Amino acid sequence: MTDQMDPITLTVIRRGVLAAAEEMRSMFKRAATLAILYEFNDYGISILDDEFNLLADAPGIPIFLGSLDTCLEATVAEMGGVEALKPGEVILNNHPYLTAGQPPDAVVAEPIFVDGKVIGYCALRAHMGDVGGKGMYPVDTTELFQEGTIFPGVKIVHDGEIDNTILRILRANSRLPSETVGNVLAAVSAVNAGTKRILGLVERYGLDAYRAAIAKSLDDSELIARKAIEAIPDGTYSITDYLDNNGVESDPVKIGVDVTIAGSEITVDLSRSAGVQKGPINCPWGYTLATVRLALKRVLCPDASPTSGEHRPMTVVAPLGSLFNPESPAPCFIGAWSSVRMGDMLVLALAQALPGRIPAGCGGDLVQCDVWMTNPETNRTHIFGDTGGIGTGGFEGHDGMNGVIHNIIAGCEIIPAEMIETRIPILRRRMEFVTDSGGAGTFRGGLGVVTEQEFLGDGFANVVAEKTNPDSPVPGLNGGADAPYNNSITLFPETERELRLGKKAPVDVSSGDRMIVSAAGGGGYGSPLDRSPLSVVSDVRNGYVSAEAADGIYGVVFDSSTWTVDEDATVERRKTLAGSGDRQPARGGSAREQGSPAGHGGSDRTPRDHFPTIRAGHYSDVRDS
């Protein structure tokens, strides 16, 4: 059929499916009730065919990309198969082992019927608000039942009518009943709109043409992915790192990633990672699969519209009952933090196979603090989320980016101070780059950001930060330096109650208390002694690099009154540094002031010998847990 269709019709149908997903996103974003959705973009939208192949995606959070296919397949099976579905129905599901998320990350989906048969699905997943549990954002749960009320695939709409019994149960189990229910209803409207658009395409071009167009789209995506994989040298590339802890116990948690390239096939084996954990960092299978897909998309086909076709050459291995393939009811509320690290590691593992294409390590975490506060003027509860602005790693020809959100949630936006301060009793005291926080290199790592908030009301905070342990640094590449600072969250700074936190919930806060979130920079790429002296001087002028680092790490001598480089003295200084090997990590303050940034001290740490362990060749079949 595709051979007989003109390319214009094929393209129009493809673009029509993409436009349907975009309309769903626009409708949901306009109707959502919480800033975490309409500003922070904590959602994902997909259109799938009747075999659960991803056809189109409207990006909110990238980690949601490619996760709704396994979710819908598992959900429909849980509900009794496609035969149990009827036109005019909408499904609600928030079971993490089906949705690949947290209980608040609920999925709303509508089957698309043509002539009495399902031809696909419009689906949306979003952080709807609160569904109960031991806390609004618990980071120390020990079983799934503590994480919220579960709706494991229920029909929230029958024959086009909302099931008010489901809404009553949802309201009764939420600390934010109006907002949570409002977001679910907004999602129902969005999937309704997507379904109408797809039905319009089918009516205009016919079902055969529609199916042919999506089949061609899937095949084209597969071809693009296979060609990209074939360009990577065959072999197995391995890397090992450790999470700080599991949120309940203090021991580090091992992650081992082995990536095998064989022709146009790629296998990601996570068998060397730790077993299932007592704390909530377990990553359900769907989340693991989505993380691998996102990480590989960064390397293989970042510019192509995502479809399930590009997933066909990929195989993911994770033993059942392990960190990346746990079984219910193992806790999993912050499994995203395991996926963040694994996704970064997967890309870094390919650095040796793709020299010059892979950047050095990024700040390595979301560095998240959620504060739930009651406005003393309105007596309403509000959510404040602060996600640290990390630096990304330098790479061939480019410095890393400064103060961005981790790539796994790159569709999100840092909420403006003006919006925070007008709706929530919080004062943002500062938000600024941290001088010298990027790893030194020919191409410098991006800078991290330090933010300071003062609370003007009472509430509580939940914090989640990884890579707070200096034994797990943000790595440089190709002779570049590690980022000199790790992530940090500090509550009650400069008081007797000061707390340096990684994973903690809840912590009571009151009016006048302060919180400092300090995010790591990116790793450097290439030797710092090869960096352009003019670039170093520019960095000093901008406050990105201190004068001490320019001299002691980059070996650049300049006149600070005229900002001109002393070329002869620079050559000699670099010879001295190269001969002594005595380049130490810089210790700076914010770009506004020198000295140790609040909540951070400098570090002369020596990285673990095994981090990062990147090698070519074939990995032995001996596996540990």
CA atoms within 13 A on the CB side of 491: 25
Residue tagged 């600072």 (tokens): 485
Do 373 and 455 form a contact (C-beta atoms < 8 A)?
yes
pTM to 2 decimal places: 0.89
What pLDDT score was predicted for residue 624?
32
Q: How does pLDDT run across 56-107, given as a tens digit for each residue?
A: 999 788 888 778 999 999 999 999 999 999 999 999 999 999 998 899 999 9
Residue 27, SS3? Answer: helix
Tokens of 517: 């979130």
Identity of residue 491: L
- With cut-offs at 50, 70 and 90, classify the pLDDT of residue 596: very low
For residues 502 and 252, is the Cβ–Cβ distance under 8 A?
no
Cα separations in angstroms, 617 against 180, 259, 316? 50, 11, 19
Give the DSSP H/E element, type plus range, for residue 387.
strand 381-387
Q: What's the whole-number average pLDDT of the chain?
A: 89
Question: What does the longest C-alpha to C-alpha distance in the chain come to?
Answer: 81
CA 391, distance to chain mean position in Å, is: 14
User: What number is the average pLDDT over the span 351-378?
Assistant: 88
Q: What is the pLDDT of residue 376?
A: 78
Instruction: Output 375 or 545, whichever has higher pLDDT.
Output: 545
The mean per-residue pLDDT over the stretch 507-532 comes to 95
Which of 189-203, 345-359, 377-391, 455-469 is predicted with the least confidence, judged by mean pLDDT? 377-391
Q: Which pLDDT score is estimated for 2?
A: 54
What is the predicted pLDDT for the residue at 582? 56
- What CA–CA distance (Å, rounded) separates 310 from 220? 8
What's the pLDDT score for residue 583? 54
Whether the Cβ atoms of residue 235 and residue 617 lie closer than 8 Å to each other: yes
> pLDDT for 319-331, tens place per residue?
999 999 999 999 9
Secondary element (H or E) of residue 451: strand 449-455
Contacts of 97 (CB under 8 A, 6+ apart): 144, 284, 285, 286, 327, 328, 332
Q: Is the pLDDT confidence value at 336 over 60?
A: yes
Which whole-number Å values give the CA distances from 385 to 39, 191, 366, in the listed order?
11, 27, 11
CB burial readout 428-463, b (16+ within 10 A) else e: beebbbbbbbbbbbbbbbbbbbbbbbebbbebbbbb
Helix (H) or strand (E) holding 294: helix 285-300
447: closest CA among 346, 560, 525, 524?
A: 524
* Percent over 70 (pLDDT), the chain: 92
Q: State the pLDDT at residue 232.
A: 97
3-state secondary structure (DSSP) of residue 56: strand
Query: Can you tell me the distance from the alpha carbon of 34 to that of 415, in angstroms, rounded to the nearest whole number?
Result: 12
Structure confidence at residue 251 as a pLDDT band (50, 70, 90): very high
Q: What is the pLDDT of residue 396?
A: 96
Sole residue written with tokens 């890393």:
400
Higher per-residue pLDDT: 603 or 78: 78
User: Distance between CA 91 and CA 606 in Å, rounded?
Assistant: 52
Residue count (the chain):
625
- Using pLDDT thresholds of 50, 70 and 90, give the confidence band for residue 617: very low
Cα dihedral: 352, 353, 355, 356 (round 10): -120
Contacts of 362 (CB under 8 A, 6+ apart): 344, 390, 391, 392, 393, 400, 406, 407, 446, 474, 522, 523
- 371 versus 475: the higher-pLDDT residue is 475
pLDDT tens sequence across 454-493: 999 899 888 999 999 888 899 999 999 999 989 999 999 9
For residue 485, count other CB atoms closer than 10 A to its CB.
33
Q: Quote the pLDDT of residue 484.
A: 94
Predicted pLDDT at 1: 53
Q: Lowest-confidence range among 37-51, 222-236, 375-389, 429-443?
A: 375-389
Q: By mean pLDDT, which of 19-28, 285-294, 325-334, 500-509 is the weakest? A: 500-509
Q: Which tokens is 516 given?
A: 């400092």
pLDDT at site 572:
96
Average pLDDT over residues 34-44: 87
pLDDT tier, 563 (very low <50, low <70, confident <90, very high otherwise): very high
How far apart are the C-alpha atoms of 65 and 385, rounded to whole Å? 22
3-state SS string over 125-185? EEECCCCCCCCCCCCCCCCHHHCCCCCEEEEEEECCEECHHHHHHHHHCCCCHHHHHHHHH
Of residues 343 and 616, which shows the higher confidence score?
A: 343
Q: What are phi and psi of 141, to 5 degrees?
A: -70, 155
State mean pLDDT over 566-595.
69
